[in-house]
Amino acid sequence: MYGEKYKLSEAEQWELPPDEEDTFGVALSNGRRVLVQVQAWDNMMIRTKRGMNMKDKPFRLVSVRLMDAQTKEPIFKRRMWLGVWGQRAGELTLEEIYWAYRQRFDIEHFLRFGKQNLLMDSFQTPDVEHLDNWMEIVSLAYWLLWVAKDEAQAKVHKWQKYDKRYKKRVEYGLPVSPSEVQRQMESIILSFEQEPFLPKLQIKSRGRKEGDIQDKRERHKVVWKGKKAKKKRA
């Protein structure tokens, strides 16, 4: 059963106090220390729209605000709203909910970086199994960059040295970016002991036996895009 209607844009005028509230400190990517104020309202409901029945789907409504560590004033005008669904949603702490959402940035960064720098979307194959193997290789390559970040140094192109974000990262000693690690990966690998990586004599494969017949790949019918019929004027 629905109760009173609340608008997210008018959260400051609500007469409904939050069921839970927490505040903790974090460091942003530019090194700035801020306070994270998280509030949660339990058993909230969304009205049914577009044929999706929401009457039996209560959720936790979570509000996130970044506050200045000194003045305790909000850094942004608007709050960030999150919804937590599921039978075990109440087992999550507010800080766990915040960090779970923050991981979304890492996932999106991996997808963008993988496409631009690791050829994630360049491998073309009709076999799903081969595509899964390629995705695993790309994930391992990205993992290697993460492991090697402690061996890399903050080093960018000459035209990037004047970037404020780069200066902030150097000033606060923040981790280097995946792109910086990738550019230094060759020198990092060459610093290893090379003997285990030297080529070894291998027995040549015998190849296919005489008379072996390989199954031909299934050929699919080519579907041509038809031309649109011209509309007749009345």
The rounded distance, in Å, linking the Cα atoms of 81 and 61 is 7
Residues of 151-180 as b/e, b for ≥16 C-beta within 10 angstroms?
ebeeebeeeeeeeeebeebeeeebebbbeb
The reply to whether 2 falls in a domain is no
> Which domain range does residue 184 map to?
118-191
- The values of phi and psi at residue 37, to 5°, are -100, 120
86 with 135, same domain?
A: no
86 with 152, same domain?
A: no
Q: What is the pLDDT of residues 200-231, one digit of tens each?
A: 888 888 888 888 888 888 888 888 877 766 66
Judged against a pLDDT cut of 80, whether residue 1 lies above it is answered with: no
156 with 86, same domain?
A: no
Number of domains in the chain: 2
130 with 177, same domain?
A: yes
What's the mean pLDDT when you consider all of the chain?
A: 86
Confidence grade of residue 157 (pLDDT, cut at 50, 70, 90) = confident
Confidence grade of residue 143 (pLDDT, cut at 50, 70, 90) = very high
The reply to whether 208 falls in a domain is no
The reply to whether 144 falls in a domain is yes
Determine the pLDDT at residue 173. Answer: 75
The reply to whether 161 falls in a domain is yes
80 with 16, same domain?
A: yes
Least confidently predicted of 34-38, 95-99, 131-135, 218-222: 218-222
Determine the pLDDT at residue 83. Answer: 92
Judged against a pLDDT cut of 60, whether residue 234 lies above it is answered with: no
The residue among 60, 93, 126 that closes a domain is 93
The reply to whether 77 falls in a domain is yes
82 with 139, same domain?
A: no
Report residue 158 CA to chain centroid gap: 29
Judged against a pLDDT cut of 70, whether residue 31 lies above it is answered with: yes
| Residue appearing with tokens 């019918």 | 221
76 with 144, same domain?
A: no
Determine the pLDDT at residue 231. Answer: 67
The percentage of the chain sitting over the pLDDT mark of 70, rounded to a whole number, equals: 96
Q: Which helix (H) or strand (E) holds 41?
A: strand 33-44
Determine the pLDDT at residue 114. Answer: 93
Q: What is the pLDDT of residues 52-95, one digit of tens each?
A: 788 888 899 999 999 998 888 989 888 999 999 988 888 899 99
Within 10 A of 201 (CB to CB), how many other CB atoms are there? 4
21 with 82, same domain?
A: yes
The reply to whether 52 falls in a domain is yes
The reply to whether 70 falls in a domain is yes
The reply to whether 61 falls in a domain is yes
17 with 76, same domain?
A: yes
Range picked from 127-141, 158-172, 184-198, 213-227 for highest mean pLDDT: 127-141
The residue among 93, 127, 153 that closes a domain is 93
